[in-house]
């Protein structure tokens, strides 16, 4: 059995660097780094492990501005065989509706595959909507929040999905789409050989025209949702540091807890 696996990867600003200053309402972005969406790194790792176990190939695909190439090279150094960058000014401002349209068009263009893996969510938007939306656009069955692949046979995959109160084990036919949580694996560090390969690898770049997309369905124009306001979360009320001996601190805390419990 040989599987053609495609992994959707997003380049995101490192969340810990991004915050709005509650006083000036401006964003502090000293040294914001662009990184591979952490969940997608786990999706990539799972894809590479499946390839190693069953044979086949791993293609990574990303929609993003030209500098996303760095993230795709990172993916190659971690075991991806091929990388496709879907990049066009027309994609800017895409919500998840326009993103799934674009990704679906790009996937049709690069040809079918047996399995698509996505991260559970991207840490910039935190929507977790692209995986399921993309699956529906491609008419594929899908499972979200996969924490373990328990079996993989020709035309069939078995997985455990994380639920709020436990987990479900399910079986679904291939081709299919899965979104993964971080618990699924520990991603590898790129090898020296991988890094060398990443440097020279050719990255296929596709424009809106190349994927045959309808311009009206792209980017801001093709989006169903619209951001009307961005603001910083309310600053918390001033904190209170309790003072005194351990006994005194505990006593003060108990009084305060009684009020809210």
Partner 1 sequence: MLRIDKEACIGCGLCEQNCAFGAITVVDGTARVGDNCTLCGTCVDNCEVGALSIEREQKEKGDFGDWSGVWVFAEFRHGRIAPVSFELLGIGRKLADKRGVKLAAVLLGNGLGDAPRKLVGYGADRVYVAEGPALAHFTDDVYGNVLADLVREHKPEIVLAGATAIGRSFIPRVATILGTGLTADCTDLDIRAEDGALLQTRPAFGGNIMATIVCPHTRPQMSTVRPMVMKPNGFDPSRQGEIIAVTPAPERLASRVKVLRSVAEKGEQVNLTEADVVVAGGRGLGDPKGFDLVRELADVLGGAVAASRAAVDSGWIPYPHQVGQTGKTVCPKLYITCGISGAIQHVVGMRSSDTIVAINKDPEAPIFDVATYGLVGDLFEILPKLIATMREKRA
Ligand X SMILES: Nc1ncnc2c1ncn2[C@@H]1O[C@H](COP(=O)(O)O)[C@@H](O)[C@H]1O
Q: Is position 145 an interface residue for partner 1 (rule: CB under 8 A)? A: yes
**Nearer CB in complex with ligand X: 134/152:** 134
Give the span between the Cα atoms of 253 and 8, in whole angstroms: 48
**Nearer CB in complex with partner 1: 70/204:** 70
Q: Is position 133 an interface residue for partner 1 (rule: CB under 8 A)? A: yes
Residue with tokens 């894809």: 47
Q: Which of 172, 173, 180, 186 is nearest to 147 (CA)?
A: 180
Applying the rule CB under 8 A, the residues between 18 and 37 that interact with partner 1 are 18-20, 25-29, 32, 34
- Residue 185 partner contact from ligand X, partner 1, none using kind-dependent CB cut-offs of 5 to 8 Å: none
- Strand (E) positions, 120-221? 142-153, 156-163, 166-173, 176-180, 203-206
Instruction: Select the residue whose beta carbon is closest to ligand X and give its number.
Output: 119
Triad 232, 224, 36: Cα angle to 5°: 60
**Nearer CB in complex with ligand X: 62/77:** 62
**Nearer CB in complex with ligand X: 147/252:** 147
Q: Is position 46 an interface residue for ligand X (rule: CB under 6 A)? A: no
Q: Is position 214 an interface residue for partner 1 (rule: CB under 8 A)? A: no
Structure tokens of 26? 């401006």
Give the span between the Cα atoms of 62 and 85, in whole angstroms: 5
Q: 143, 163 in Cβ contact below 8 A? A: no
Kindly indicate which of the ranges 47-55, 78-86, 167-175, 188-196 contains the residues binding partner 1, using the contact rule CB under 8 A.
Answer: 167-175
- Residue 8 partner contact from ligand X, partner 1, none using kind-dependent CB cut-offs of 5 to 8 Å: ligand X
User: Does residue 175 have a cis bond before it (omega within 30 degrees)?
Assistant: yes
Structure tokens of 234? 């309310």
The residues that touch ligand X, with contacts defined as CB under 6 A, are: 8-10, 37, 39-40, 43, 62-64, 96, 99, 103, 118-119, 121-122, 125-131
């Amino acid at each position: 059995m040989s599987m053609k696996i495609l992994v959707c990867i997003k380049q995101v600003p490192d969340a810990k660097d991004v915050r709005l200053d509650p006083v000036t309402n401006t964003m502090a972005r000293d040294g914001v780094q662009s990184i591979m969406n952490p969940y997608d790194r786990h999706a990539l790792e799972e894809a590479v492990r499946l390839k190693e176990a069953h044979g086949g190939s791993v293609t990574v695909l990303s929609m993003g501005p030209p500098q996303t190439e760095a993230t795709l090279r990172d993916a190659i150094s971690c075991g991806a065989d091929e990388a496709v960058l879907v990049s066009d000014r027309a994609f800017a401002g895409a919500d998840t509706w326009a993103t799934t349209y674009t990704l679906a068009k790009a996937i049709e263009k690069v040809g079918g595959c047996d399995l698509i893996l996505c991260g559970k969510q991207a840490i910039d938007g935190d929507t977790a909507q692209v995986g399921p939306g993309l699956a529906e656009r491609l008419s594929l069955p899908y499972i979200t929040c996969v924490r373990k692949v328990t079996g993989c046979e020709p035309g069939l995959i078995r997985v455990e999905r994380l639920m709020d109160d436990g987990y479900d084990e399910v079986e679904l036919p291939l081709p299919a789409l899965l979104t993964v949580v971080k618990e699924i694996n520990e991603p590898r560090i790129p090898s020296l050989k991988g890094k060398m390969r990443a440097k020279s690898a050719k990255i296929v770049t596709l424009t809106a025209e190349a994927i045959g997309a309808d311009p009206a369905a792209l980017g801001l124009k093709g989006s169903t949702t619209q951001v009307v306001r961005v603001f910083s979360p309310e600053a918390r009320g001033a904190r209170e540091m309790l003072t005194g001996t351990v006994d005194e601190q505990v006593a003060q805390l108990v009084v305060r807890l009684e009020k809210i419990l």
